[in-house]
Structure 1
């Protein structure tokens, strides 16, 4: 058991990794209002749950161990690398850290943090000038910051899916959608004409193709 668990029980590593990603999100998002802190707190809970299983205790592996062992008998599911469930289940013959799902996760996580950072600067400048945020990423979607959080979480799910984070993901997405609707109602009160025109042209979360916007 000690050989199997050599990649787990590393609670300090779990804490450090969670703290780093939470700090990154904080520095990019810079929460100020209660609504900001609510969305940031939910994201932080997702990150803590993720790294607790990645380096602390592999709850998902234990829960699914019987099914995994019977369907994939050639995999030692209690090694750390096997925690990359998608890489193992699809049988990629490579180091999971260089597998397609792991590389996809890098793109989603990096793109998500970039979107959060760029959007915050555009939003901050618009609020300072008393205007609507309609430039930068806001040209393509109305809620790029929330989309950024969703992309980061989705990236982590491709890298290290767990039962808890899979359950949390749709709950957090629905929360971000509700927060977005509240923000839109407030923006509509301040800029009724401008917002309706903007809303008619720019989708909430999923950017239209160039052909559709032309």
Structure 2
């Protein structure tokens, strides 16, 4: 890898961060504190990611000695070499066409599709005051949080950093806590209908071949704060 260094591009950090955050926000209905917390957690991850991708490569800096010894001849200060998984597993031609980058793109697109599909169903259920049990909500109770996690995994495959790897389990824990709080509020409001839905549909990991006929009003477990 011999392409020129491509860091210190803070304008790109800002532009890319804003684009992805606004894109994610466009699929949500930011009506409650939980909605804002969910988007805020994702936004922190995105800013950290693009800061290292285009601003200052902290991970490369901290691991430069080890990387230089393990992968001699690779210029890890070049932008392409920042795709660490492609470099470490031997894809040295163009990382944008490598297997990890390809898988990353699929996961990111799939995550945004799931996010859009989830909030579309949820918004319709809110207006009709019923449980959201169709579409993604027929498979899992919190597809919007699954979507954020899938998108983050996609970004990690494309550009893993020490900071985002450390943030990832913390953000998953945040989403689990938000989901449980939303379920408590929904259980209190909708009672038996929510209990039936919760028994039929898993929280995060789908059981394929199973659906639900529950009815009521559901915000992935949330009600207005």
| Shared fold per TM-score greater than 0.5 | yes
CA distance in structure 1 between the partners assigned to 2:68 and 2:182 by the alignment: 47
C-alpha deviations, 1:66-118, integer Å up to 9, x for none? 11111111311111000000000000243100111101111111111111111
Q: Which runs of 5+ in 2 are unaligned?
A: 212-225
CA distance in structure 1 between the partners assigned to 2:74 and 2:208 by the alignment: 42
Instruction: Tell me how far 1:30 sits from its aligned partner.
Output: 2.9
Instruction: Tell me how far 1:4 sits from its aligned partner.
Output: 7.6
User: How do residues 38-77 of structure 1 correspond to structure 2 at under 5 angstroms?
Assistant: 38-77=37-76
Match of 2:30 in 1: 31
Q: Which runs of 5+ in 1 are unaligned?
A: none
Match of 2:79 in 1: 80
CA distance in structure 2 between the partners assigned to 1:11 and 1:43 by the alignment: 20
Instruction: Tell me how far 1:205 sits from its aligned partner.
Output: 0.9
CA distance in structure 2 between the partners assigned to 1:6 and 1:167 by the alignment: 25
Match of 2:17 in 1: 18
C-alpha deviations, 1:172-205, integer Å up to 9, x for none? 0000000000111111112221112111121111
Instruction: Tell me how far 1:6 sits from its aligned partner.
Output: 3.0
User: How do residues 142-161 of structure 1 correspond to structure 2 at under 5 angstroms?
Assistant: 142-161=141-160
Indicate if the aligned counterparts of 2:28 and 2:116 stay in contact, CA closer than 8 A: yes
CA distance in structure 2 between the partners assigned to 1:209 and 1:68 by the alignment: 42
CA distance in structure 1 between the partners assigned to 2:107 and 2:188 by the alignment: 34
Instruction: Tell me how far 1:5 sits from its aligned partner.
Output: 6.4
Match of 1:103 in 2: 102
Q: For the aligned residues, what is the CA RMSD?
A: 1.5
C-alpha deviations, 1:18-50, integer Å up to 9, x for none? 111011011012321111111111111110110
More helix as a share of residues:
1
TM-score, length-scaled by structure 1 = 0.94
Instruction: Tell me how far 1:127 sits from its aligned partner.
Output: 1.2
Match of 1:201 in 2: 200
Runs (4+) off by over 2 Å: 3-6
Judging changes above 3 Å, is the alpha-carbon distance between structure 1 residues 62 and 4 closer, same or farther for their aligned structure 2 residues? farther
CA distance in structure 2 between the partners assigned to 1:11 and 1:90 by the alignment: 29
TM-score, length-scaled by structure 2 = 0.90
Q: Which moved more, 1:70-79 or 1:164-173?
A: 70-79
CA distance in structure 2 between the partners assigned to 1:175 and 1:117 by the alignment: 21
Indicate if the aligned counterparts of 2:86 and 2:98 stay in contact, CA closer than 8 A: yes
CA distance in structure 2 between the partners assigned to 1:63 and 1:114 by the alignment: 35
